[in-house]
Structure 1
């Protein structure tokens, strides 16, 4: 057993007695047959005597070495002797080849130490059809054409992890520029779409300069390629030197794309390049997403031990991304922007081309700032959940208490305004930089504007405050015009409308009228048409409000949307329906569709089939399920259609997602009982917990005896 391959079975990580120094990869994709063949030669450093090399490999078929043992469940390949291998992979039929190796899929292309901690250099050679473009992480050294096949050799890469290796083969065109440092930057698109890459190229050029200054580190590679991939499952993948994007995340058309798409394309550097967009105020979206997921018992800490590659995808969620970013932002706010920036620059220089743990980041920040960062931050990354701060006014004093979640809140922020006792207000967690909730215990709770509407919504869902209190708070926003505030008010309004269908069906129309009354003033001010000199945020707010009013059933907005839709249907160049308002019009026109009148549905399908623009296709698909006629909503498994399902069509969606009761949660749990896989087990548990939370919230709402009376008072302006 000691000298047997079996001793490696079941190991969570590969043994450390050998590590790669360099991979020489030769790959030949066959786009017609959807296969590839290849060879891998690996230079290995051995630190202890061994008769075996243990690598990661999965779903690879090829020539068998002299001695080989493969443990498929562990995705481990044990080789007795080093030998060139040849593999064939049966994939989907595509007219281009694209790799996506994050998080642990390089092993499906070539045997390797598929662990981000095990870095090596890579020297790639591709054999591809002569008429196709072949891209990889590094620049091309040489191309040799031999009839229908050409051989492309690339420069050797610097040290990097296997998941960052990237290959793209297909027909593409590009635009390019060079930075002041001489780095060549290109945006690759499908043939004929290079104009849509100009904005991304401009942002990339400015971003490289921005990051060079911010991190005090120049861009380390000789080139940066960004490429738009149709139907790319991942939004984007930051491969070394070759960043792959879903086309909607990279391309921007001045005539066809929305303002939100422009912001999405540039989000990596948006705050510095477009300060007028006030992107830091919009960061609240990320924090809200993190808080909502972290409220679940089935949440997880930011730092999670991973024992198998299949577990990685389960933690690629709002905790890792949104809570992680929020905690870092909280730390930046505490240290100050400049000290934080300098410390990050030191950290990057110290650990370049090596590995680091979270404690290493805390150590550098602590050394640079003189603050006890490790003690302060460890609880935030190693514990799940967040603190809830209880606040109340006691005479002339503000009392605050943290009862649960033993996390260090080093500095508590508050703002106070005083103009006579009756007009006093106190705002806790100013700028919303703290990752915690605030709840008021004061009987005169209106004296403390505790956080924002998101806090009150979360506390209502948790049954720590009533829906009645939430509605009264929302009513205070009826004169609001700020995009960031209204984006969250609108989100909460739509959530209330949906939950009221099950909790208070008799009041649902009254709820919707109340929410319409709240949002209508800002929507009427903006109208449907763009105005000279309006801000980027006004453009996005217009779309947000019109969509919400349509979903809430505001007849005037629906009728105007239908009118503009049919003008646009006859004349696609009309100025009456801009890209930012099309989604609202599409939703509006679908509300007129029924089994006896499908003309609008057919018109939308015609628009879908007649456009090559992915953003336009997405708008249409996201609107098709919003008909109030349940017979129009068909059983489909596309997430974007389910995401757009109207209140009336939700019953049809149970084939995939009908989550409003404990009984349905039990049904789902039973269905998945013998189908659980590590990659989605945590996500399933989180979903089921959300179902049960919604069910309890519904029961809590039903018990609010004065809810109907308060809704009527607010509608009549008496509350």
Structure 2
């Protein structure tokens, strides 16, 4: 697209506006006055002409400057002289046409070289109040560009000679600045500070403090294929490729769609106008208020104008242009491809129920007039909480009865609950800066379990939290290379780097712990006051701590004069977590704390201390609550009755810490599990004991003989949460032992534990089964086939062959949806190219995104190296059939196959540059690829090779830098485990006896 002539609005002062390097032109004062006078006459005439084209433009608002009114109403402005057949390469601002300037005034923000930890925050001298944005994306024309213009109304807090905002990958075509009297402020220069992603508009005049100004910018950009910013996506329906344009702005990609103050602290109102072809639909954060059937030079295009939003951060702005269809219920609409729309019913039924629960939970009505939820074929995140327009990857929004599994249904409910929780925690009240990202994600992750539980309590979500969030967070947080929940962020890459288990799962876990020690009344009333006090504003974690302290004083729930900040700072500002050691001596309970480290060196000490809420339960079900107040040790005299046989700490694992006991109490607990009835200990604490014991043993705090003895009772266990905790820990042992000559003993031990349960569950489900029984069936049968139980393998292969031999495999699949992944994986692993090709063709043809995920996972189960190599190559090949957002899934699935583990890492090393180019250097998928490709390393040779790979590419890891450091540390821990514990475990397995 070309712009042969300057836009009128871009030439508010054609004499003094300047782009690029300095060129001087002499103009007399009289001539300048005449030119300005002529210009305003032309401007008024143009406005009258535009008004004559449409009667839908709102009447002039005397309180809105001429420039802003024109941008809102003159929809033809942005399309002036567009020639859509051109594929012009965008130019940077430094190459724009040059006019003239005067001598340079002092600049507030000089460009300088960005060092590693240099602050990249925007200056606070200028604050945005509102944006008026016009956008025209060209999707169907095939050039995948967009044109745009905006007027940003700004308030000046300190006098400034320039305006600094963010812009990345955009060509700036025109810039103008006006004051509230419609007088132009001469633009001297427009320059980029690329490493800071700043666009600086240098002015010949000063912007005065306390005044309001209007910044007009005309620009164009590329609809990229990196799933970031304003990007393009496609899908095939009826053998026709259909294109859409979508957005993903979190955390720092709004700047790729329009120049903006792209930090969460710069909240503003947004009024969006989008032009698109008549056969497509545009949606945005707010409802559409009018359509104008006129776009200059584009006869088949129309303009959609949307209501102005409430104040919000740029990363929450969203718009979508597509040919999707929708179904509606009340204020909710779900949008999807027309052929997938029937799969949207579950989401449409579930979302309003969760919203109503949250309105009651938070005590504040949802503040927007509607919620659109959209299933997007290509989407980098799982979902995104854009205010009023929530975007999802297809498998986490669409559910097909009889095809999708129960885990898919639960996952959809959870993701919807997570994103709806953000409408309050994140959107209504937003963190001031990304160091408090955890306030967004931690709260949403915790509250999603409450929301999902409100829909279906039979799922036992509040118990599942332990094994899906808390215990997984503890594993990552035990590394020295972990990070605090509240972490300093210096550049955009570091922002992406903290979207991890620490921000999400650890954040959720400490909130759950805080809710437990504050109590429901303080927690709920405090959240309500916090949200109301900070509504439509920003906040830091200290704002929440202050309000919760106020409430805790009202209800007297904290010890002495302590505050929530004093307690919670030890959990948010420090890395890691404690292990609490409990020893009973002469009736006195001695409790100590120390930092838990997965790779602890002999004699190593860490002085970190936490405020720890300790809960204690004895064998008579009597509960005690005490505080370990930021000190090393506490003693409880006469803690239990003399006839007490055992005790537990951390009831229901509400606290974010591990517990280690003296040998006497460990043995008493094991005896209780084996001999006196494991059911007398709650399933959550059975899961806790297994996870704590196995991880304590891994890190050298506890002998493996005790840890493995805890698992002996599992032969009688039938609850899901303890089994999930056990299988997660057995998974580590499996990976360490599977390539050794002693795997047979480990295999036989696990078979002994699961055999009876496997025979009880069978492949056949009964009507109206409890959901946790279904989850148990999925886990146990997966392990039965994985461990080589012949009956399991034969049944899985037979189910798969029956499917292959059906008349129409794409329509006739009688395999239980909950067991499909195990059956597919087993049959492909036992089969050859024919089985793989059959599954691949089903993947290409299925219309159910959840089924596509299962097939992608299962295709990694082949034992043929050439097939696995081809699969890896296809995963990073455009138009292979594997979507870009699924690359990480392919790699993760392949690393679960022992045959493919070495192959995956070798492929990652050889193709690192190609992978980075394909996914984009800022893609969070890179971290996943590094982590999954290396997490099973357990030898010094592998560590040395990984370190060498890191050193050779140190400057190219970007968002994955912290991940590779964590991977090296995990590999070192695995290697130490092999050296210190492999023989111990081998010996135990040779002598183990299961009754």
Do the two structures share a fold, i.e. TM-score over 0.5? Answer: yes
Residue 400 of structure 2 corresponds to residue 244 of structure 1 = no
3-state SS of the aligned residue for 1:411?
A: strand
Q: CA deviation at 1:665?
A: 2.6
Q: Pick closer, same or farther for the CA change 1:708–1:351 going to 2, 3 Å.
A: same
Q: Distance in 2 between matches of 1:479 and 1:160?
A: 53
Structure-1 residue corresponding to 2:110: 7
Q: Please tell me whether residue 265 in structure 1 is matched to residue 407 in structure 2.
A: no
Provide the C-alpha distance between the structure 1 equivalents of 2:741 and 2:948, rounded to a whole number of angstroms: 32
For the pair 1:361 / 2:544, whether they are aligned, the reply is yes
Query: Take 1:407 and 1:222, find their aligned partners in 2: how far apart are those partners?
Result: 47
Residue 56 in structure 1 maps to residue 172 in structure 2: no
**Residue 631 (structure 1) shift:** 4.6
CA contact (8 A) 2:613 2:655 kept: no
Partner of 1:577, secondary structure, is: coil
Q: Deviations over 1:20-40 (max 9, x none)?
A: 111111111111211111001
1:27 aligns to what? 135
Bigger Cα displacement from structure 2, 461-470 vs 385-394:
461-470
Secondary structure of the 1:63 match is strand
- Distance between the aligned counterparts of 2:327 and 2:320, measured in 1? 17
Deviation digits for residues 505-548 of structure 1 (CA, Å, limit 9, x no counterpart)? 12102101211221232222221111133111211221122112
Cα separation, partners in 2 of 1:711 and 1:113, compared to 1, 3 Å: same
> Which secondary structure state, in structure 2, belongs to the residue aligned with residue 45 of structure 1?
strand
Quote the residue 1:181 is aligned against: none
Map 1:559-708; keep pairs closer than 5 Å: 559-571=794-806, 572=809, 577-593=815-831, 597-634=832-869, 636=872, 638-645=887-894, 646-655=897-906, 656=908, 657-658=933-934, 659-673=937-951, 674-704=954-984, 707-708=985-986
- Structure 2: distance between partners of 1:3 and 1:669: 47
Question: CA separation in 1, counterparts of 2:244 and 2:755?
Answer: 47
1:350 alignment partner, one of 514, 533, 537: 533
CA-atom RMSD, angstroms? Answer: 2.2
1:542 aligns with 2:763: no
Judged with a 3 Å threshold, the aligned counterparts in structure 2 of structure 1 residues 204 and 103 are, in CA distance, closer, same or farther, namely same
Alpha-carbon distance, 1:574 to partner: 6.4
The corresponding residue for 1:70 is 192
Once the two structures are TM-superposed, the CA of residue 377 in structure 1 deviates from its matched residue by 0.9
Shift of 1:664: 2.2
Looking at structure 2, the residues matched to 125 and 161 of structure 1 have their Cα atoms a distance apart, in angstroms, of: 18
Looking at structure 2, the residues matched to 425 and 482 of structure 1 have their Cα atoms a distance apart, in angstroms, of 22
Aligned residues: 705
Q: Distance in 2 between matches of 1:333 and 1:222?
A: 34
Q: Which residue of structure 2 aligns with residue 499 of structure 1?
A: 736
Q: Is 2:693 the counterpart of 1:456?
A: yes
Query: Aligned runs of 1:61-140 on 2, under 5 Å?
Result: 61-63=171-173, 65=175, 66=187, 67-81=189-203, 82-92=215-225, 94=233, 95-140=243-288
CA distance in 1, matches of 2:784, 2:589: 39
Do residues 442 (structure 1) and 633 (structure 2) align?
no
> Equivalent residue of 2:741, what SS?
helix
How is 1:160-199 mapped onto 2 (pairs within 5 angstroms)?
160-178=312-330, 184-199=331-346
Counterpart pick for 1:303 among 486, 497, 506? 486
Taking the aligned partners of 1:399 and 1:602, their CA distance within structure 2 comes to: 62
2:366 and 2:109 map into 1 onto residues whose CA distance is 45
Q: Which residue of 2 aligns with 1:229?
A: 376
Are residues 1:277 and 2:557 paired? no
CA deviation after TM superposition for structure 1 residue 199, in Å: 1.1
Partner of 2:306: 154
> Are 2:152 and 1:42 equivalent residues in the alignment?
yes
- Deviation for aligned residue 1:444: 5.6
Equivalent residue of 2:368, what SS? coil
Q: Is the 8 A contact 1:440 1:448 kept in 2?
A: no
Question: Separation in 1 of the partners of 2:819 and 2:837?
Answer: 20
Say if 2:646 and 2:665, in contact at 8 Å, map to a contact too: no
Which among 377, 392, 400 is matched to residue 591 of structure 2? 400
Q: d(CA) in 2 for partners of 1:116 and 1:546?
A: 46
**Matching residue within 567, 580, 590 for 1:389:** 580
* Counterpart Cα distance in 2 of 1:207 and 1:315: 28
Change (3 A) 1:395 1:141: same
For residues 234-258 of structure 1, the C-alpha deviation after alignment (integer angstroms, 9 at most, x for no partner) is: 1000001000000111111111111
Does the alignment pair 1:413 with 2:565? no
> In the TM superposition, what whole-angstrom CA distance separates every residue of 1:111-140 from its partner, at most 9, and x where no partner exists?
111010010000110011111010100000
* Aligned partners of 1:35 and 1:88 also within 8 Å: yes
Aligned equivalents of 2:841, 2:222: Cα separation in 1: 37
SS of aligned partner of 2:165: strand
* Alpha-carbon distance between aligned partners in 2 of 1:651 and 1:606, rounded to the nearest angstrom: 27
Provide the residue aligned with 1:486 in structure 2: 723
Distance 1:546 1:493 in 2: 15
Verify: 1:18 aligned to 2:135, yes or no.
Answer: no
For residues 710 and 396 of structure 2, the distance between their equivalents in structure 1, rounded to whole angstroms, comes to 36
Stretch deviating more after TM superposition (671-680 or 527-536): 671-680
Conservation of the 8 A alpha-carbon contact between 2:570 and 2:611: no
Cα pair distance change 1:509/1:649, threshold 3 Å: farther
Going from structure 1 to structure 2, the CA distance change for 1:336 and 1:377 (only over 3 Å counts) comes to same
Q: Distance in 2 between matches of 1:639 and 1:467?
A: 34
| 1:327 counterpart = 2:510 | yes
SS at match of 2:778: helix
2:364 aligned residue (194, 201, 217): 217
Distance in 1 between residues matched to 2:970 and 2:642, nearest whole Å: 42
Taking the aligned partners of 2:535 and 2:695, their CA distance within structure 1 comes to 41
Q: Secondary structure at the match of 2:169?
A: coil
Question: For residues 700 and 612 of structure 2, what CA distance do their matches in structure 1 show?
Answer: 28
Q: Is the 1:625–1:641 contact (alpha carbons within 8 Å) kept by the matching residues of 2?
A: yes
Structure 1: distance between partners of 2:665 and 2:506:
32
For 1:592 and 1:335, the matched residues in 2 are separated by: 54
1:266-297 CA distance string (max 9 Å, x none): 11221112111110100012001211111000
93-102 or 562-571, which moves further after superposition? 562-571
DSSP 3-state at the match of 2:191 = strand
**Secondary structure of residue in 2 paired with 1:192:** helix
